[in-house]
Amino acid sequence: MTDRALSVVRAGALTSVQDEGRHGHAHLGVPRSGALDLAASRLANRLVGNAPGAAVLETTLNGCAVRPRCAVTVAVTGAPCPVTVAGRPAAWGAPVRVPSGAVVEVGAATRGVRSYLAFAGGIAVEPVLGSRSTDLLSGLGPAPLRDAEVLPLGRPEGGHPYVDWAPAPGVPDQLVLRVRPGPRVDWFTPDAPGVLAAGHYRVSSASNRIGLRTEGPALRRASRRELPSEGMVLGAVQVPPDGRPVVFLADHPTTGGYPVIGVVPEPDLAAAAQAAPGTPLRFALAHWS
């Protein structure tokens, strides 16, 4: 007997359910969360005929393996990786029909960090505050995947996928993030923007869904006062006491007490989601006087 669900065969390093996130709850201390590479998540959904906001699986570095209990169309996007169905090679970046009981294996990323596995009908876990996303900071939504777990699948909307193949941007060798001036530029020494722009930074292995941490030149503070906690936005470049910038990603805290020197525009953050530890990073200052 089949049902609309899947069993987790191999959960992977960090695989979570993600959609487009919880909008409008920052005043309650709830971050948006959602897929870090939103463009890749939307493309995966498009390839299987879902609406853009359907819930998908977001893998981290070493992929995952699942066994659908029903025949279903799947697609894998984001970080390029090998894909197999029942042990046989399958297409990446294209819809693939999977028989009931066949194991879908998303392998280790060959470039980048996060791959997205979409199923026709979407992952149908119970929404929390209007989203099915796993939020690592607040603990809202389903926990990261565990071996032998069973997840429900929704019903396909009907018809065929919108596309049978679509181009996707590659993972760059260097991450370039535009930065607009933040609200606390005056808390840093006058040379800090120049240090930020000229600094040879790299992505730190301590990065996660909360923030992209950096290794490189420290930014010096002009003020040693304590900053009262204030609201934090997606893409905020916060500078902790060690002086190394942190770029806030989807699971970021909604308030913080360290000064924000700048803000990275949201369209640039998809590339940040795919930047592996050690990736060279350059900040490009925009609209600074």
pLDDT in tens, 213-246: 999 999 999 988 888 889 999 999 999 999 999 9
The residue segments making up the domain with residue 17 are 5-152
* 133 and 241 housed in the same domain: no
* 112 and 201 housed in the same domain: no
What is the domain-level CATH number for residue 223?
2.40.100.10
Q: Give pLDDT, residue 137.
A: 87
Q: Give pLDDT, residue 72.
A: 96
Closest CA to 17 of 102, 126, 179: 126
- The three-state DSSP-derived secondary structure of 223-280 is CCCCCCCEECCCCEEECCCCCCCEEECCCCCCEECCCEEEECCHHHHHHHHCCCCCCE
- Model confidence at 172, pLDDT cuts 50, 70, 90, reads confident
* 112 and 183 housed in the same domain: no
- Model confidence at 1, pLDDT cuts 50, 70, 90, reads very low
| Number of domains composing the chain | 2
Residue whose tokens read 């006058």: 190
Residue whose tokens read 């069993």: 7
Token code pair at residue 62: 């070493």
Please give the Cα distance from 130 to 146 (Å, whole number): 23
* 28 and 105 housed in the same domain: yes
Q: Which stretch of 151-165, 185-199, 208-222 has the lowest confidence by average pLDDT?
A: 151-165
Residue 159 is assigned to a structural domain of this protein: no
Residue pair 71/100 in contact (Cβ under 8 Å)? The answer is yes
pTM, entire model: 0.94
pLDDT in tens, 254-269: 999 999 999 999 999 9
pLDDT in tens, 240-250: 999 999 999 99
Among candidate residues 118, 152, 186, the one where a domain is terminated: 152
* 227 and 258 housed in the same domain: yes
pLDDT in tens, 10-50: 999 999 999 999 988 888 788 889 999 999 999 999 999 99
* 128 and 184 housed in the same domain: no
pLDDT in tens, 68-105: 999 999 999 999 999 999 999 999 999 999 999 999 99
